[in-house]
Chain A
Amino acid sequence: MTTLSRRKFLKISGATVAAASAVAAAGRSVSSAIATTNVERGDRTVATYCDICFWKCGAIAHVRDGKLWKVEGNPLDPLSNGRLCPRGTGGVGAAFDTDRLRAPLIRRRDRGEDEWVEVTWDEAMTYIAERMQKIKSSYGPESVALFSHGIGGNFFKHTIKAFGSPNISAPSFAQCRGPRDVGFRLTFGEDVSSPERTDIRNAQCLVLIGSHLGENMHNTQVQEFADAVGNGASIIVVDPRYSIAASKAKYYLPIKPGTDLALILAWMNVIVAEKLYDAEYVAMYGFGFEPFAASIAPYTPEWAYPETGIEPALIRATAREMARYRPATLIHPGRHATWYGDDAQRSRAIALLNALMGSWGRKGGFYAPVSMDVPAYPTPPYPTPSKLKVDNPDHKYPFAHETITTGIREATITGKPYPIKGWFVYATNLLHALPNEQETIRAMQNLDLLVVIDVIPSEIAGWADVVLPESIYLERHDELNVEWFREPFVALRQPVVESPNDQKPNWWMAKTLAEKLGLGAYYPWKNAEEYLSTRITNAGMSWEQLKKDGIIRGEKRPIFFDEGVPAEFPTPTGKIEFFSVQLQKAGFDPVPMYKRPEGGPPGSFRLLYGRSPVHSFSRTQNNPVLMDMVDENMVWVNADVADRNGWKTGDWVVLRNQDGVVSNRIKVLATERIRPDCVYMVHGFGHTAKHLRRALGRGASDSQLITRYAVDPLMGGTAMNVNFVTIEATEVAHG
């Protein structure tokens, strides 16, 4: 073996070292996109919190020689426990992205042509304020709506409320977790909330129904999932696709897509028939158990078998497995729950199964989240809108407790119950987030004002009248994160480096706009630092400590029933509602009932989608660090199906959906890891925005193929796993 001593080596090559490091240094400065003007030397760190997704993990950003270097987890933070997820670690790439929006833009051609003139901030704000006032005088302030995602939207919400509009919405309800929260509310009286109140870490049996933890990287949940796996918890995974989580499972149930509710009903049937449930818990806290039991009696495993494709013996074995570990059996409620149109009822069935396990309020099940008391900054009361929200006329969806984005879109198209003429879109790429992009485009054509606030020139930005470039999270202050979690804490987002161009933080934009609108009284503070420090000082905490540590933790408090949390269920009966009178009165099934999902055209595959661990929605495909991990999506096709059709991994194909919409070209992944009746792709790829040069044309967009959606009759959620595609070989690049 050749071993070279370090000292000897350095002596030989002393001269070369010096020469080559000059080359290397030159190389480095070329690649550094965000050099600041002041000459700063050495390393420094700033504590802040992440924004690559909405989980808001505590982070420590490192700056080397004045340039942003890397971001790590903040060890003081109970969300990250000192470790970020891959997206958070790659968050610096958002700063290095050379396609970032730099200056305010005003459209100079037709909507959607993505052609712009750069303007000053004052010109942009004046333009917006004038149009808003015009809409207000013609239609009323309610005709301006805001779509927003994440904590960064808070100040814009404040300005829009001060302006007098109640039409504020986020896709996270009707396109994501809404059905889940409605199902749990109807049962326990409370939401699952975000971060989910699941005690995965202590679960002895964890059931994941379509929830792909490990690909979905909501940090704390994945950390706890790894702990559960490491502790030898019994994992049961239900998924048409052999997910990463499935590879950790004791039982993998390769369910036929769309039939999850049948499986859950059959599980409950076994658990009730074999008296495996927590009888004491059910007797103490439950309402309507007898009619519930009668209602699910027909749903035997033998009945469920032809629906789900899961053998009766496996249904029984897994039901017994769950009962064996109760109450530390957690049937995870999932997060993105808008699948088939029966979603609120399916989620309610999951809630009921948890109720049978007695896991709500118990260790290894669901905890009661706690929070810190940080008073709001005192501002004048908002004006009372003279019209009701536009999204849900006549309470068509009686159990929607948040605003329905697609309801606002519908009103924008029809002008009913009243016209919507202005949209603000903050940090959500509506063309990828809402189903049926043509409807979104139709709605946008009816607008007198469309303002997009974002960090990247996304598809929705391409349709705006005015684009406002936001500083990325590492360059700005944001609202405090006063989280509801296992323990109370407050976290600060603060600037690490300066914005490279003319980008501004959201608080500055929202405040400046309010001032232009004559609403300056709603912003009685000079800047974010004054706003934030006042809130913290008024709460009796130290602003200096928060700035230094990025986080202040409160006293731990009881979070389980046996620690002293009162077992209260804010439902109409004050109990866990096995039978729901309010559902019955509203004309819905008081106990969930199964309806077989509609199939697709012969020869087609159901289109399923999910997440990559290194991407957030459609917002990270221009991030150079994260794109270096996964730079396109592939369409997963069952290996036998691929074989029969002559498709090999890496072959280019296009997908054509039931309405004739054809996707970008995408590569095949022929794999054993999926059923033959469906195909799967990661969401967020297939960008068409021409200024997103790294993302443009990489992979295909599931959103583009989601022209159909089934609306949840309880709450207006838009189920998107109801589209079918055929696969066509191609040599040509589309789009």
Chain B
Amino acid sequence: MARLAMVIDTVRCVGCMDCIVACKTENQTPEGFNRDWIAYDTQGKFPTLHQEIRSERCNQCSEPPCVDCCPTGASHVHEYGGVVLVEKTMCIGCKACIASCPYDARYVHPEGYVDKCTFCIHRVEKGMDPACVSVCPTHCMHFGDLEDPLSNVSKLLASRKHHTLIPQAGTEPHVYYLT
């Protein structure tokens, strides 16, 4: 079994949005909708400020409330890597998953089904990185298998300070931010 995860280095990230653009062109998300976004988290008073810049998306949780609450089973955990996916043909657009997601990671596609980040599973299953990871000009994004202690992501989490988003929600997110 694999447990896929994304590890994003906020020290290198400049928030340029290349990850969002790449997702858009790779996955052909409709105009007006994106599966990932940038958070600019600024603390302090001018000029003594601190800013963390994060590329955010579905956290591919191990305890995904969106799967638990889906009445049709459209929201499900993929057999490889623990990735949470939506089978659009089974989605009735009831938005229960959207309400349950603490990260606001999902949106209703104009064609009526719920859409969100897939970790580019179609690429990953061919041995490639997700589109966002593969384009990042600052090399701040890393992707891999946490079950493998020798993977880049495992090593980064073992050696660098990091955090996840809203850990208190108990969702066990799998997008990690190095600080």
12 A/B residue pairs, CB under 8 Å, sorted by A: A85-B16, A89-B18, A219-B137, A226-B138, A226-B140, A242-B47, A254-B46, A613-B14, A613-B15, A613-B16, A614-B16, A675-B46
A395 interface contact, C-beta 8 A: no
How many interface residues does A have (CB within 8 Å)?
65
Per the 8 Å Cβ criterion, residues 45-59 of B in contact with A are 45-47, 49-51, 53
The answer to whether B14 touches A639, judged by C-beta atoms less than 8 angstroms apart, is no
B67 interface contact, C-beta 8 A: yes
- Give the residues in chain B near A374, CB-CB below 8 Å: none
- Give the residues in chain B near A245, CB-CB below 8 Å: 14
Per the 8 Å Cβ criterion, residues 153-174 of B in contact with A are none
B137: nearest chain-A partner, CB-CB: A83
A614 to B134, CA, bound (A): 18
- Give the residues in chain B near A672, CB-CB below 8 Å: 42, 44-46, 49
Most buried by A among B16, B67, B135, B138: B16
The size bracket of the interface on B is 35 or more
A213 to B15, CA, bound (A): 11
Q: Which of B16, B76, B79 contacts A222 (CB 8 A)?
A: B16
The answer to whether B28 touches A28, judged by C-beta atoms less than 8 angstroms apart, is yes
Q: Which of B24, B51, B90 contacts A242 (CB 8 A)?
A: B51
The answer to whether B53 touches A247, judged by C-beta atoms less than 8 angstroms apart, is yes
The answer to whether A6 touches B16, judged by C-beta atoms less than 8 angstroms apart, is no
A24 interface contact, C-beta 8 A: yes
Q: Which of A3, A13, A223, A230 contacts B137 (CB 8 A)?
A: A223
Per the 8 Å Cβ criterion, residues 13-67 of B in contact with A are 14-18, 20-22, 24-26, 28, 30-32, 34, 42, 44-47, 49-51, 53, 62-64, 67
The answer to whether B53 touches A226, judged by C-beta atoms less than 8 angstroms apart, is no
A579 CB to nearest B CB, Å: 35
- Give the residues in chain B near A219, CB-CB below 8 Å: 137
- Which 6 A-B pairs rank lowest in CB-CB distance, beginning with the nearest? A214-B14, A226-B138, A247-B51, A254-B47, A613-B16, A86-B18
- Give the residues in chain B near A613, CB-CB below 8 Å: 14-18
B99 CB to nearest A CB, Å: 17
A544 interface contact, C-beta 8 A: no
B70 CB to nearest A CB, Å: 8
- Give the residues in chain A near B67, CB-CB below 8 Å: 1-3
Contact indicator per residue, chain A 401-430, by CB within 8 Å of chain B (1) or not (0): 000000000000000000000000000000
- Give the residues in chain A near B76, CB-CB below 8 Å: 2-4, 9
- Give the residues in chain A near B18, CB-CB below 8 Å: 83-86, 89, 613
The answer to whether A629 touches B31, judged by C-beta atoms less than 8 angstroms apart, is no
- Give the residues in chain A near B9, CB-CB below 8 Å: 230
The answer to whether A86 touches B17, judged by C-beta atoms less than 8 angstroms apart, is yes
B131: nearest chain-A partner, CB-CB: A70
A271 interface contact, C-beta 8 A: no
B32: nearest chain-A partner, CB-CB: A628
Per the 8 Å Cβ criterion, residues 597-627 of A in contact with B are 613-614, 624-626
A397 interface contact, C-beta 8 A: no
Instruction: Decide yes or no: A244 and B14 within 8 Å by CB, A69-B25, A674-B46 being known contacts.
Output: yes
Instruction: Decide yes or no: A629 and B21 within 8 Å by CB, A9-B73, A72-B135, A222-B138 being known contacts.
Output: yes
A533 CB to nearest B CB, Å: 31
A490 interface contact, C-beta 8 A: no
Q: Which of B11, B24, B78, B88 contacts A625 (CB 8 A)?
A: B24
Most buried by B among A16, A90, A92: A90
A131 interface contact, C-beta 8 A: no
Instruction: Decide yes or no: A84 and B77 within 8 Å by CB, A629-B17, A672-B45 being known contacts.
Output: no
Known contacts A72-B135, A86-B20; 11 further A-B pairs (Cβ under 8 A): A9-B90, A28-B28, A71-B25, A72-B134, A89-B22, A89-B135, A225-B14, A229-B12, A242-B46, A613-B18, A628-B32
B68 interface contact, C-beta 8 A: yes
Q: Which of A6, A624, A674 contacts B79 (CB 8 A)?
A: A6
Per the 8 Å Cβ criterion, residues 67-82 of A in contact with B are 69-73
A38 interface contact, C-beta 8 A: no
B147 interface contact, C-beta 8 A: no
A247 to B51, CA, bound (A): 6
Looking at chain B's contact residues, is the secondary structure mostly helix, strand, loop, or mixed? loop
A40 to B79, CA, bound (A): 34
B122 interface contact, C-beta 8 A: no
A64: nearest chain-B partner, CB-CB: B28
- Give the residues in chain B near A3, CB-CB below 8 Å: 67, 76-77
B137 CB to nearest A CB, Å: 5
Most buried by B among A23, A222, A229, A628: A628
A226 to B10, CA, bound (A): 11
The answer to whether B25 touches A89, judged by C-beta atoms less than 8 angstroms apart, is yes
A359 to B25, CA, bound (A): 41
A248 to B140, CA, bound (A): 14
A197 to B31, CA, bound (A): 38
Per the 8 Å Cβ criterion, residues 82-114 of A in contact with B are 83-86, 89-90, 92
The answer to whether A217 touches B77, judged by C-beta atoms less than 8 angstroms apart, is no
B43: nearest chain-A partner, CB-CB: A672
Q: Which of B20, B70, B136 contacts A83 (CB 8 A)?
A: B136
A39 interface contact, C-beta 8 A: no
A244: nearest chain-B partner, CB-CB: B14
A20 to B135, CA, bound (A): 31
- Give the residues in chain B near A252, CB-CB below 8 Å: 47, 49
Q: Which of A4, A254, A629, A673 contacts B42 (CB 8 A)?
A: A673
A17 interface contact, C-beta 8 A: yes
A638 interface contact, C-beta 8 A: yes
The answer to whether B15 touches A4, judged by C-beta atoms less than 8 angstroms apart, is no
- Give the residues in chain B near A27, CB-CB below 8 Å: 111
- Give the residues in chain B near A242, CB-CB below 8 Å: 42, 46-47, 49, 51
A37 interface contact, C-beta 8 A: no
B104 interface contact, C-beta 8 A: no
B91: nearest chain-A partner, CB-CB: A20
Contact indicator per residue, chain A 628-647, by CB within 8 Å of chain B (1) or not (0): 11100000001100000000
- Give the residues in chain B near A137, CB-CB below 8 Å: none
B97 CB to nearest A CB, Å: 12
A672 to B42, CA, bound (A): 8
A62 to B44, CA, bound (A): 45
B148 interface contact, C-beta 8 A: no
- Give the residues in chain B near A17, CB-CB below 8 Å: 89
A638: nearest chain-B partner, CB-CB: B46
- Give the residues in chain A near B11, CB-CB below 8 Å: 229-230, 248
B35 CB to nearest A CB, Å: 12
A232: nearest chain-B partner, CB-CB: B11
Instruction: Decide yes or no: A628 and B46 within 8 Å by CB, A9-B87, A73-B135 being known contacts.
Output: no
A283 interface contact, C-beta 8 A: no
Instruction: Decide yes or no: A90 and B53 within 8 Å by CB, A254-B47, A628-B31, A672-B44 being known contacts.
Output: no
A732 interface contact, C-beta 8 A: no
- Give the residues in chain B near A284, CB-CB below 8 Å: none
A639 to B46, CA, bound (A): 9
Most buried by B among A92, A225, A229, A245: A229
A448 to B51, CA, bound (A): 54
A473 CB to nearest B CB, Å: 16
A5 interface contact, C-beta 8 A: yes
The answer to whether B46 touches A16, judged by C-beta atoms less than 8 angstroms apart, is no
A248 to B138, CA, bound (A): 13
A31 interface contact, C-beta 8 A: yes
A223 to B26, CA, bound (A): 22
The answer to whether B12 touches A625, judged by C-beta atoms less than 8 angstroms apart, is no
Q: Which of A2, A20, A225 contacts B89 (CB 8 A)?
A: A20
A497 to B113, CA, bound (A): 32
A505 CB to nearest B CB, Å: 24
B150 CB to nearest A CB, Å: 21
The answer to whether A20 touches B16, judged by C-beta atoms less than 8 angstroms apart, is no
- Give the residues in chain A near B42, CB-CB below 8 Å: 242, 671-673
The answer to whether B24 touches A13, judged by C-beta atoms less than 8 angstroms apart, is no
- Give the residues in chain B near A614, CB-CB below 8 Å: 16-17, 21
Contact indicator per residue, chain B 87-107, by CB within 8 Å of chain A (1) or not (0): 111100000000000000000
